[in-house]
Each structure stands twice: as C-alpha cells, then as structure tokens.
Structure 1
Amino acid sequence: MNYDLVVIGGGSAGLASAISAFDQGVKKILILEKDLYLGGILLQCIHNGFGLTKYKEELTGPEYADRYVNELKIRAIDFKVQTMVLKITPDLQVHFSNARDGYQIVQSKAIIMATGCSERTRGAINIPGDRVPGVLTAGLAQKYLNIDGYLVGKRIFILGSGDIGLIMARRMTLEGATVLGVAEIMPYSNGLSRNIVQCLQDFNIPLFLKHTVKRIIGKHHLEKIVVAEVDDHFNFVSGTEREWEVDTLMLSVGLIPSIPLIENIGVLVNPKTKGPLVDESFMTSIPGLFACGNALHVHDLVDFVSLEAEKTGLAVARYLNDSLKQDYKLLKTQAGKDLLYVLPNTVNLNNLERINFNFRVSRPLYDSYLNIIVNGKLLKKIKKAFMLPAEMESIELATSLLEEGVLEIEVADA
C-alpha cells in the first residue's frame, strides 16, 4: 500500500505533525505506534504542568495527549498501535509488523521520525559495584508506578537531577516512600527551576551538587550505595564517601534521541544532540525523511515538542506539493562559545521569511549577551539576564537579515 506520509511514533510529536500535515492537504497518512495506545510518554506523566504554552491552561499528561488523539480521530487519520517498525529504506519504504497484519511493507512519499528519546542506563555511565535488582531508570519507575501500580522501593536515592528524576522524587514521596536525596555530578541542576522548587525544596529532599555514586552494594538486592563528592575534573574527592542504606537507586542521567532506524540507513547525525542533522524544514540528509520532537533533540516541555511538530507537518506538506525551493541560498549554523548546539543545522534562505533557531548553553550564565554573527560580522547583540543548560533557548530572525555563509551564535560577557 502507498501513503503520502508515514509517521513513526504516536506520541506528542507524531500526533501534532500528522494533524498539521493533514490540515495542509496531506490526506493519506499512516501513524505507526509500538505501544497499546496513542499518546506516547504522556500517558505515564500523570502530574500537571503540561499545556501552559500550547493551550494556556494546566493539564496532566494524559489530558494533553487526549486532546491530540481526539483531533486525530476527528480527521479520521489512519493509525496502527502495537506495531513495531522493523526498518525503513532510503527510498522511503517502511517495514513493520503487528499481530493483526503480520509483516507489511508500505511505500511512502515522506516519513516523519517522531520516535522520542530513551534514558541513559547504568551501563551507559559505568557505575562500579554489584549487579543487583533495585537499580533502574526514573522513567521505568514512573511507568511501574503510574501505569502498572507497583511501588519499586521504600528507601530511594536518585542519581542525576534531570526532570524525570525530580518529578519521581516528589511522586515517590507522595506514595509513602522515603527519598533520601538526589546526587548531581555537575555543579548545577539539569532540571527546570520550577521542578527543583516544587519537587525537591517543597518536600525537603536534599540535592547534592558535585556528587555521584561511587559504588553499588548488594547481594540478592540493592542494600546500599556509596556517594562521594567530585572535583572540577570529575575525580572523586578522597574522604568524602558516604554510605546510604537504600533499596532503590533511580537514575535520571540524561536522554538520547531514539533513532536507530535512520542511523542504519546512513542519515547524518549531530554529535552534540545525538539526533539527525536537519535543515529549516526539519528534513534530514535523506530527501523526504523528516525528524521532530525528542527524536531530533531533547526538549524541556511537551508544548515545545508539539509546536515544533506542527512546523514539521507544514514543511512535509510543502515538500509533497513541491513548494520547497530547490534553488539554494545556503546558510550553515555553528555553535560558538558556551553553546552546545544550534538547530537547524542548515537553512535555505529562500524557503522561509522567518527562521527560529533553538540552542542550549553549556553552563549556567548570568548577565551576558548573545552575539549573532553572520560570516564574521556581528548582526545582533541580545542581552540575557540568565541562561541555563536545563532550559532551551530560542531566537527568531528574519531571513532578509541573513545571507549565504555561516551563522554563529556565541555568548559574550556583559
């Protein structure tokens, strides 16, 4: 069977991009979702705080997802759940399998990768010690508790101050567990400021900056951990070791875009974001293959995922009706001093009147300036009171101000 657009992933990015493309005239769309229901990770995020940007009201994760699922059903967009995508090809064939249809191959004119991201595990950060039950990622603990109804432990320690870990510190406390503390190897938190306040400070849960887990101890189950301070080079500081008796170590040590399907066909990957390199239309290095949401780069808020996905759906519609300009006026982007990355990676200045650039700083910065530099010339200087690695920054520029060459964004002292 042939489709105009196949969307891989039925979470917030997949739903928003499919609806946006449909509204722009792309009618033959198929969404493929591996889980039992549409909605993605939102279904296990039962706390509030979603929708403030998109809907101007506070929603829980399932409520936010439900709005998009209802919009999808109104438009009668095709979708398949409990479906595993096995591979895609450079000519945009999608191979998938499920219990109802068996092994299927569909041909598409465009594909959107909206596969989200995955958590870094114990193996990814090489924590020494015994290999025992009781060590798991915060997202998995969240699923066990909010979806399956299992409390994974009673005495909890959390490694890493990512937002999922902070939210689970509060959630476990509310369910009667004791959260002894949160250790963060960096000298600053990697979570949103509101989560530090609402999830840790409001519940008197200590945050140990410049600390990490040195050893995991247990025989048949986790019994204790050793936490120690680290210096500026991330080496353990002798004499700072402290043992904590716990039955659960929860990891919140970073998220990585889930893109093995497209890595296998040679899509160029951004070494900083771990997602694909994209242009202003969110198209990867393979024509017709797009990426958005956490499969492109990790976002702070689902509202930002939805807004980015809507732009991607619009870009796909323009691609399918040949509205994207083929004559290139190419601008490449570059992360300068104190920046981790800038997206998009390339811009065809002929395609859009205004471009939104997303970027993230590498360390907390206060009373500084953003310098927007094009081909070595200072285009714009923007005063910023503060910028944090945990919070994505964004600026919008008119393409009339830009020219072919290289755009660099850097931080300068006030």
Structure 2
Amino acid sequence: MQEYDIVVIGGGPAGLAAALSAKEEGIENIIILEREAQLGGILNQCIHNGFGLHTFKEELTGPEYAQRFVDKVEELNVPYKLNTMVLDINKEKIITAVNDHDGMIEIKAKAIVLAMGCRERSRGAINIPGSRCAGILTAGAAQKFVNMEGYMPGREVVILGSGDIGLIMARRMTLEGAKVKAVVELMPYSSGLKRNIVQCLDDFNIPLKLSHTVTNIKGKDRLEGVTIARVDENRRVIKETEEFIKCDTLLLSVGLVPENELSRKADIELSEVTSGPVVDDSMQTNIEGIFACGNVLHVHDLVDNVTTESYNAGKNAALYIKGKNFRGNYIEIRAIDGIRYTVPKYINNENVEKFISIRFRVGDVFRNSYISVYFDDIREMHIKKRILTPGEMEDVKLTKALLDKHSGCKTITIKVEKE
C-alpha cells in the first residue's frame, strides 16, 4: 500500500489549486489522481474567454486559465497520475484506484481533498417522452465534440435549459454555422449569468423562451423536431400552447450535479439541496481529514471562486497534517426565506483570522430586496440588492470582529427580506 500525506482526487481547477496550496504550505508528500488523459478538467474544452478576471486580473480562455496551474504544478514538481480512476474511498482514508500502468492500487492518505467536479443531468433524469433517436446530447458533450474533437453535432438546434453551458453553446453553434432555433427554459427566469444571456443570445438574436419546456421528441433514426409548450406557475404543461420546431439536434443544459458517489462510500454527509458535502469553514467534511472544494461541493458560476475556495481547502488540509484541529464550538448557518443553501454550513470562530466569506444562492428572482444576516435574533447586516437571481452566486463577508461580538451565538441566519 502506498502512503501519502495528502491525496487530491481530481485534476481540474479545484484539485490543482488545492494541491498547489498544500505544497506552498510545506507538504511535500502529495499526489493528484485524475481520470482523464490530461490535467485541467472541464476547462480544456471551454475555449471561450471570460476566465481569470479576479484571479489573474486579465481575461483568459479556459485552457489558458488551466495551463497557468498546470505549469505551476510542473514547476513545483507536484506528482500526479493520469488515466487513473478512483473506485473507492472510505472513512479510514484508504483509496482504491486503477489505471493501465499500475493496475489496481491502494493508497493510505492522512488527508484527502475531494475535487471531482460535477456532471450534467441527462435526458433520462428529466423524463422527456418521445423516440430514442440520434441527435440528443448534453450541452457539455456537444462542447467537447465541437471544441476538442472537431465534429459538428448538427445544423438546426434547439437547446433545452438556459444554464451557462447551454447559453455558451448557443453562441458556439451559431459561430460554427448552425441555426439555433430557440433556447427553451422551464423556469420564468434564466439559470445562467446575465452577461451570458446578453453575449450569447441577445447579440445573436437567439430567442429565449422562458416558462417553456420540450414535451415530445420526433424522429426515428435521427431527430426530426421537438414539440415545445408553455408551462403554468406550477410547471404544468399548457396543452393549447404546443408548437413544433423542426431541428436535427437537441442540446440539454438542464442542470449540473456534484460527483459524489465516492463521498457516499466514505459516509460523508451530503446536502439535500446541493448534493455536495456539508462542510465547515475549513472546507472539512463530517469525516475528519477529508476536505472538499469546487463543483463537487456546490456548482459555481465563476472558476475564480473555485480557485479561492480550493486554495483554502488545500491550505487547511496541510494544516491538518501539521496537527491543527478544526473542530470546536460550531455556529450553524441557517438558510431560510429565499436562500437555498450556504457554504460553509458551520463556522468555528477560532479558525477565522480576519473574515470568512459565506457563499449562497437564492431560490427565485427578487427585486429591490435585502440580504439580511442575523446572529441568533439580532440583525447585524442588511444589504440592499437591486436584483437577486438563482443564476448568480452571492456572498457575504463576516468579519472576525463581528463574530467576536457574538461569541456566544448559536446560529447565524441568512434570509431575503423586502424591507
């Protein structure tokens, strides 16, 4: 059995940042396990720009952003194994993995950083009726075909779901010569960033049909078209509004799910809202010595936020190796009244140096509202927001001084208030 101080599972932006952070804290015995043939994760197929504005103060493409971290990994001689699939982890921090060079391997870790990312929901997860013809792909699969393999999935396209990948692929398919007939969204609002709606749809006159869904798929061997319809406030189809759109390709951008099969095997507590691990301010899960960061924890809109979070996870994994105990008197953070969840879920005031960022998403569109933060029953923050949407991640910073002021506090509550 091989032994390492820290094992990072996943070589995407989260795993790379966590490994580099741990290395910079002085931990030498680290390894990154990555199932793909190269480091960089999903960023390798995201050839559009818009990455790195916060981290590097410049606009980069996805591969350029990833390469900055890959170069640093090579420079610091952080070891990694590619084409390595992790099959199992347990709460004793024993990892079982397999690759074509080593065969089956077992690794004993003192600490583990989970950075497996997320996956797309498929057609089977959303139960669209109709035939099982060719031409139906997730938006991410289409992105890989176009950007990395050089294949065009189709010429007449409908996109179901207005997540960021779907919006970006609407623009990408258009630039490659396809006709995007419509982006169809079940909810009365888009789940993507506002800038992507403007740059990917509005700039190319691609219609966004809110409160609509696909009700049927037509085609035998190849997709011939889809039927769409309006839905009511309970998301029930309004039959008389159905219309048929002729197309040869349907791209699905219907949500991302954190990859947590391994987390379940280690008995890690998962959030019912995010499907990611429940963590404290150190990014540590309920299993001591196992940390989580990036899209395996909760789905991010900006990779810069993934990097910040992952630096924190890697640093704290290193401090854990050096003997730091992050457990203590936890304050629970409650998300209610419009707030879907928070990361982290628990804070130990003793671990906070200057401030801690609490990230969260709202569950609906709110206009001219306030984000309020209560320490037990005392409201300490009341932040005016012109608009809040589920597609944009929000955050509040709780200072050390504020936490010290309420040192006996049991719960911190974050909610949306109208006044």
TM-score (norm 2): 0.97
- Mapped to 1, the partners of 2:291 and 2:330 lie a distance apart of 19
Q: In terms of mean alpha carbon deviation, does 208-217 or 262-271 score higher?
A: 262-271
Superposed, 1:13-412 pairs within 5 Å as: 13-326=14-327, 328-353=328-353, 354-402=355-403, 403=407, 404-412=409-417
Q: Distance in 2 between matches of 1:343 and 1:214?
A: 35
Between stretches 236-245 and 395-404, larger displacement belongs to 395-404
1:317 deviation in Å?
1.4
Cα distance in 2 for partners of 1:176, 1:240 equals: 30
Q: CA deviation at 1:240?
A: 0.6
Aligned identity (percent) is 49
Query: How far has the Cα of 1:323 moved from its partner?
Result: 2.6
Cα distance in 2, alignment partners of residues 290 and 130 from structure 1: 43
For residues 375 and 273 of structure 1, the distance between their equivalents in structure 2, rounded to whole angstroms, comes to 24
8 Å contact from structure 2 (residues 359, 396) kept in 1: yes
Distance 1:412 1:9 in 2: 39
CA contact (8 A) 2:336 2:415 kept: yes
- Per-residue CA deviations over 1:341-398 (Å, capped at 9, x if unaligned) read 1111111111113221011111111211111012122122112222111010011112
2 CA distance for matches of 1:178 and 1:277? Answer: 42
CA distance in 2, matches of 1:262, 1:323: 23
Displacement, 1:324? 3.3
| CA displacement 1:269-322 (0-9 Å, x = unmatched) | 100111011111111111111110000000001111111101111111111112
Structure 2 distance, partners of 1:364, 1:42, is 29
Q: Is the 8 A contact 1:13 1:305 kept in 2?
A: yes
How many Å apart are 1:26 and its aligned residue? 1.1
How far apart are the structure 1 equivalents of 2:170 and 2:132? 23
Give the Cα separation in 2 of the matches to 1:380 and 1:180.
Answer: 45
1:168 is paired with a residue whose SS is helix
Letter in 2 for 1:335: A
Tell me the distance in 1 between the aligned counterparts of 2:412 and 2:391.
23
Aligned length: 413
Q: Distance in 2 between matches of 1:124 and 1:321?
A: 43
Shift of 1:400: 3.6
Q: Is the 8 Å Cα contact of residues 4 and 29 (structure 2) preserved in structure 1? A: yes
CA distance in 2, matches of 1:7, 1:248: 37
Contact 2:282/2:326 (8 A) holds in 1: no
Deviations 1:116-141 (A, max 9, x none): 00001111111111111111100000
Kindly provide the CA deviation profile for residues 210-268 of structure 1, in whole angstroms up to 9, marking residues without a partner as x. 00000111111111110000000011113110001111100001001001011122111
User: Following TM superposition, where does structure 1 have runs of at least 4 consecutive aligned residues deviating by more than 3 angstroms?
Assistant: none
Structure 2, unaligned stretches of length 5 or more? none
SS at match of 1:233: coil
Deviations 1:73-106 (A, max 9, x none): 1110000101111111111011111111111111
The question of whether the paired residues in 2 share the 8 Å contact of 1:324 and 1:351 is answered with no
- Where do 5+ consecutive residues of structure 1 fail to align? none
**Secondary structure at 1:124's aligned position in 2?**
helix
Q: C-alpha displacement at 1:325, in angstroms? A: 4.6
The answer (yes or no) to whether the contact 2:139–2:252 under 8 Å persists in 1 is: yes
Q: Distance in 2 between matches of 1:383 and 1:245?
A: 45
How many angstroms apart in 1 are the aligned matches of 2:397 and 2:236?
A: 40
Cα distance in 2 between the residues matched to 1:370 and 1:140: 37
Change (3 A) 1:325 1:42: closer
CA RMSD of aligned residues (A): 1.0
> In structure 2, what is the Cα distance between the partners aligned to 1:86 and 1:359?
31
Q: Partners in 2 of 1:334 and 1:33 — Cα distance?
A: 35
Q: C-alpha separation between the residues in 1 aligned to 2:369 and 2:123?
A: 36
Q: Is the 8 A contact 1:189 1:390 kept in 2?
A: yes
